[in-house]
């Protein structure tokens, strides 16, 4: 059906722009008019932009780097570092222009050789009287590769940073990006949050705060649970990142021919700000922008997920991704405003996908009745270790996986472990298992004569490194060796993420494998690949059960 203005507003109110803290609205309040000093100048090879409210910044006309960020006469861009930049900097082939239209200034930088022959266009937008630098980045379909904004900041002013990502004074222990600092392991990877949790975050000091607003994640990849770098502290600076796309254990292809963002850098006091409404940027002619008038949305009901689980409905295709949370009591959901197209709709039980279907979105239309019901079955089991939720969170070291290296002294021992059904808890079972660290894991259980029968063992994993996968032995019976699961080829378990492609391994165990009394299930990580210690073949557990 066609959307009335009232229904569009209702849908928009239900939308929290992915990664934002506040609800979207269709129209934004205009900027404060005639702010003193608002404008830009050109000179010395730079565009210098003044918000009229105390913030000025400078953009190089040769490569588009931000070389100065000054707030009330305090310089926040450190000397002796690179300029702040999109991707790894656009280099000398960049075309950089600036224009003012009323109370808006737009600085545009572009190249046509991004990763070979691709076009990348990056925008800086300033509204009069606001100390916010709005940004958006368009990439066409001819190129592809890492995409990010890096903001370098003066740590002599801004000193409060996420501790787990402050590597200052440390020594590299893995791949020059994971460090030992005193007794702790730290890395830029350990500043991560799930994409659905990307509310504004920044660093503070001297009464000043600089916060990144991660904005609309519709063009990024990996879905709602994907984690990536947000901060890093070095000896010379503090870095704020907005990773728009990376190959850091990425489970999806890069989305191309799309606008990434809008996102923003907010400068002000030390309190964490609410995310600003950025919908006005869609009316400024940015390449690839799709206003709400060119979008539709989906309504339906989600049902069948396990009681007590966090339920989420996601949508994804080659050009966009979205998600929304159903009402806890009714299961009813209303999606964000979505670009037209056909999407895979997924129901998540915590982080485990338990149903999929397709849905087609049309501009100006509410697509209703798009109900989705879990198809996941959880049989009555002789034993179950953990829960089917797509994460290893309940297992040993589960609460530390995203904020430190597995070798960290704060981690409890990885084993090898023997888990005894009936007396051990999930926390006694390892969240991760590696071929060269804690092989094997054993599960001891007792059967009566009435329980001797052919059984099924199911092992769920959330990620794997170097082809690691389980092979089981029950007493004297050994399963066949299974093929590796489909996983990203990058590092995973050591860079603060357990999120890969959830995979279920199922084994049919004959009755003759069991004995009355004590039995032992042994799980070994196998792989045709090599590696040592925490870079040996490994896997992340979701759940282990026998029924």
- Summarised one tens digit per residue, pLDDT across range 271-327 is 999 999 999 999 999 999 999 999 999 999 999 999 999 999 999 999 999 999 999
- Strands 208-213 and 55-60, sheet pairing: unpaired
Statement: residue 13 has pLDDT above 60: no
Distance CA 296, CA 365 (A): 5
Average pLDDT for 214-226: 97
Whether omega before 361 lies within 30 degrees of 0, making that bond cis, reads no
| Per-residue pLDDT at 179 | 98
Mean pLDDT (the chain) is 94
Give 139's strand partners. Answer: 120, 258
Residue count of the chain, please give it. 547
Please give the structure tokens belonging to residue 375: 């198809």
3-state secondary structure 468-485: CEEEEEECCEECCCCCCC
Distance CA 188, CA 323 (A): 26
3-state secondary structure of 511: helix
| Per-residue pLDDT at 12 | 35
Q: Are 230 and 162 in contact (CB under 8 A)?
A: yes
Statement: residue 16 has pLDDT above 90: no
Please give the structure tokens belonging to residue 472: 């089981």
Distance CA 198, CA 193 (A): 7
Q: pLDDT by residue (tens digit) across 49-75?
A: 999 999 999 999 999 999 999 999 999
Q: pLDDT by residue (tens digit) across 140-198?
A: 999 899 999 999 999 999 999 999 999 999 999 999 999 999 999 999 999 999 999 99
Please give the structure tokens belonging to residue 497: 């993420």
Q: Are 320 and 297 in contact (CB under 8 A)?
A: no
- Strands 39-43 and 46-50, sheet pairing: antiparallel
Distance CA 422, CA 546 (A): 14
Distance CA 100, CA 119 (A): 24
Distance CA 176, CA 193 (A): 22
| Per-residue pLDDT at 11 | 36
Angle at 228 between CA 226 and CA 234, to 5 degrees: 165
Please give the structure tokens belonging to residue 189: 């990877």
Nearest by Cα to 81 from 316, 304, 240, 281: 240
Distance CA 169, CA 344 (A): 46
DSSP labels for 195-231? GGG---EEEEETTEEEEEE----TTSSS-TT-B---E
Statement: residue 4 has pLDDT above 80: no
| Per-residue pLDDT at 2 | 41
Instruction: Give phi and psi for 346, each to the nearest 5.
Output: -125, 135
- Strands 297-303 and 372-373, sheet pairing: parallel
Provide the 10 A C-beta neighbour count for residue 392: 27
- Strands 85-86 and 55-60, sheet pairing: unpaired
| Per-residue pLDDT at 34 | 52
- For 205, the enclosing helix (H) or strand (E) is strand 201-205
Statement: residue 17 has pLDDT above 60: no
Whether omega before 262 lies within 30 degrees of 0, making that bond cis, reads yes
| Per-residue pLDDT at 33 | 54
Distance CA 499, CA 351 (A): 9
Name the region of 72 (left: φ>0; alpha: ψ -120 to 50; beta: rest).
left
Q: Are 49 and 40 in contact (CB under 8 A)?
A: yes
Distance CA 328, CA 525 (A): 39
Please give the structure tokens belonging to residue 80: 């002796």
């Amino acid at each position: 059906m066609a959307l009335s203005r009232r229904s569009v507003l209702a849908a928009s109110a239900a939308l929290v722009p992915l990664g934002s803290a506040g609800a979207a609205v269709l129209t934004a309040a205009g900027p404060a008019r005639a702010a003193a000093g608002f404008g830009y100048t050109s000179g010395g090879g730079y565009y210098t932009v003044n918000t009229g409210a105390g913030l000025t910044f400078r953009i190089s006309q040769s490569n588009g780097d931000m070389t100065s960020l000054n707030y009330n006469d305090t310089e926040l861009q450190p000397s002796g570092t690179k300029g702040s930049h999109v991707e790894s900097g656009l280099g000398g082939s960049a075309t950089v222009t600036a224009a003012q239209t009323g109370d808006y200034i737009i600085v545009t930088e572009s190249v046509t050789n991004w990763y070979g022959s691709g076009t990348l266009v990056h925008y800086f937008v300033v509204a009069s009287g606001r100390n916010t630098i709005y940004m958006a980045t368009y990439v066409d379909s001819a190129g592809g590769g890492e995409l990010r904004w890096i903001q370098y900041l003066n740590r002599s002013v801004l000193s409060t940073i996420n501790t787990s990502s402050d590597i200052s004074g440390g020594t590299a222990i893995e791949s020059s990006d994971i460090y030992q600092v005193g007794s702790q392991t730290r890395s830029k990877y350990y500043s991560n949050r799930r994409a659905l949790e990307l509310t504004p975050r920044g660093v503070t000091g001297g009464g000043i705060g600089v916060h990144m607003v991660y904005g609309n994640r519709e063009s990024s990849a990996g879905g709602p649970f994907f984690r990536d770098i947000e901060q890093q502290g070095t000896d010379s600076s503090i870095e704020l990142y907005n990773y728009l796309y990376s190959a850091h254990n990425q489970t999806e292809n890069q989305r191309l021919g799309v606008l990434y963002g809008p996102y923003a850098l907010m400068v002000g006091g030390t309190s964490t700000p609410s995310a600003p409404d950025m919908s006005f940027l869609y009316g400024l002619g940015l390449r690839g922008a799709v206003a709400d008038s060119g979008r539709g949305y989906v309504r339906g009901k989600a049902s069948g997920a396990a009681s007590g689980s966090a339920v989420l409905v996601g949508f994804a295709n080659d050009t966009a991704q979205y998600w929304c949370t159903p009402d806890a009591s009714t299961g009813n959901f209303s999606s964000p405003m979505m670009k037209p197209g056909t999407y895979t709709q997924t129901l998540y039980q915590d982080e485990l996908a338990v149903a999929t279907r397709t849905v087609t979105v049309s501009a100006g239309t509410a697509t209703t009745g798009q109900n989705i019901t879990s198809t996941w079955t959880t049989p009555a089991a002789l034993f179950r270790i953990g829960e089917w939720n797509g994460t290893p969170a309940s297992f040993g070291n589960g609460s530390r996986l995203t904020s430190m290296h597995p070798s960290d002294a704060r981690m409890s021992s990885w084993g090898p472990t023997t888990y005894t059904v009936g007396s051990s808890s999930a926390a006694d079972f390892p969240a991760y298992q590696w071929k060269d660290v804690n092989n094997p894991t054993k599960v001891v259980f007792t059967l009566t004569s009435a329980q001797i029968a052919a059984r099924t063992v199911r092992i769920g994993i959330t990620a794997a490194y170097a082809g690691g996968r389980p092979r089981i032995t029950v007493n004297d019976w050994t399963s066949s060796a299974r093929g590796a699961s489909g996983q990203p080829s990058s590092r995973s378990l050591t860079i603060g993420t357990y999120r890969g492609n959830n995979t279920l391994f199922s084994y049919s165990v004959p009755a003759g494998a069991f004995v009355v009394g004590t039995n032992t299930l042994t799980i070994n990580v196998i792989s045709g690949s090599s590696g040592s210690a925490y870079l040996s073949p490994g896997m992340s557990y979701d759940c282990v059960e026998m029924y």
